[in-house]
Amino acid sequence: MVTPAFPGGTSVSRLSVYRDMCADGLAGGTPHLHTASTEGYVVVGGSGALQTVDMSGFREIQLEAGSTVWFTPGTIHRAINGGDLEVVVVMQNAGLPEAGDAVMTFPPEVVGDPVRYRAAAALPSDASDEELAAAVRRRRDMAVEGFLRIARSIDGGDSGPLESLYDSAVAIVRDAVPGWRQTWERTVGREAQLTSQVLDAMERGDGRHLYSSAVLESPPSGTAGWGMCGRLRTHDVTHPHVHSANAVTDEQVP
């Protein structure tokens, strides 16, 4: 049986951006970048800002209900909560971000050492909510420190620290790439291939794929997790509930 992927092979989650203050006096999330996936924000409530750094410099984009903004791999981003900021997050390449595609902007002496980086990024297991919140704040403040260094450097005309971060990010995720490729082939790659087959079939006048239409649902996770930018309620789009009686099988694919 083939389970249709969420549209575009993406993943979706709901984000309540952290409200407590960071080390620089702003409320918000942990600065980080994605190495392989584009991320999109659809703001559904509250207000705030998105701070970003890339090779063209630092910028801040204001966010309010209805704002839609997305950013490509390599864009360092930091969500700032101006008041009850709530976002629907759409991530490219479902399965890759969940498998470590994100790299936080810790200072170079940390992010430059994959072992030290993973220790700094990990959250304690079997910890209370209070202990987890403290651990999230510690790693966030460390990432803010690195973020501010890079932002100052890039705006001063020095791209060296950002280039070093990119090199370190690739070194951190490199060993995971073969597994990511398999995930991508099973999801995004397969969906693109199926769409090509459907278009070829319809050019021949063959609409058999329409007979295997389906309705799927993925309820949100019961408990909000500790994300990098805020409390997250994820939707497991890889194991949805199939409402329709029609099972989509390999034989029904054009």
Render pLDDT for 176-204 as a digit per residue (tens, 0 to 9): 999 999 999 988 999 899 999 999 999 99
Burial (0-12, 13-18, 19+ Cβ within 10 Å), 244 = exposed
Q: Which two tokens stand for residue 190?
A: 């397969």
Distance CA(37)–CA(55), nearest Å, equals 17
Report the share of the chain in percent with pLDDT over 70.
95
**DSSP annotation string for 117-148:** HHHHHPPPTT--HHHHHHHHHHHHHHHHHHHH
Q: Which residue has the tokens 């659809």?
A: 42
Rounded mean pLDDT, 101-110: 97
- Let me know: does 129 contact 166? Beta carbons within 8 Å: no
pLDDT of 249 strictly over 60? no
Q: Which residue has the tokens 């864009």?
A: 75
At 173 the pLDDT is: 96
Rounded mean pLDDT, 60-85: 97
At 55 the pLDDT is: 96
Tell which wins on pLDDT, 99 or 105.
105
- Let me know: does 76 contact 52? Beta carbons within 8 Å: yes
At 13 the pLDDT is: 93
Confidence of residue 212 (pLDDT cuts 50, 70, 90): confident
Confidence of residue 252 (pLDDT cuts 50, 70, 90): very low
Using DSSP, state whether 167 is helix, strand or coil: helix
At 105 the pLDDT is: 98
At 116 the pLDDT is: 96
Q: Which two tokens stand for residue 59?
A: 């910028």
Buried b (16+ CB within 10 A) or exposed e, 45-77: ebbbbbbbbbeeebeeeebeeebebebebbbbb
Confidence of residue 235 (pLDDT cuts 50, 70, 90): confident
Name the region of 196 (left: φ>0; alpha: ψ -120 to 50; beta: rest). Answer: alpha
C-alpha 9: how far from its chain's center? 13
At 114 the pLDDT is: 94
Domains of the chain: 8-176+218-233 (2.60.120.10)
- Let me know: does 208 contact 253? Beta carbons within 8 Å: no
At 2 the pLDDT is: 59
Distance CA(85)–CA(47), nearest Å, equals 5
Tell me: the pLDDT tens digits for 115-173? Answer: 999 999 999 988 898 999 999 999 999 999 999 999 999 999 999 999 999 999 999 99
Across 28-42, 101-115, 225-239, least confident range: 225-239
Rounded mean pLDDT, 24-42: 96
At 246 the pLDDT is: 61
Tell which wins on pLDDT, 51 or 1.
51
Q: Which residue has the tokens 């490729």?
A: 181
At 253 the pLDDT is: 47
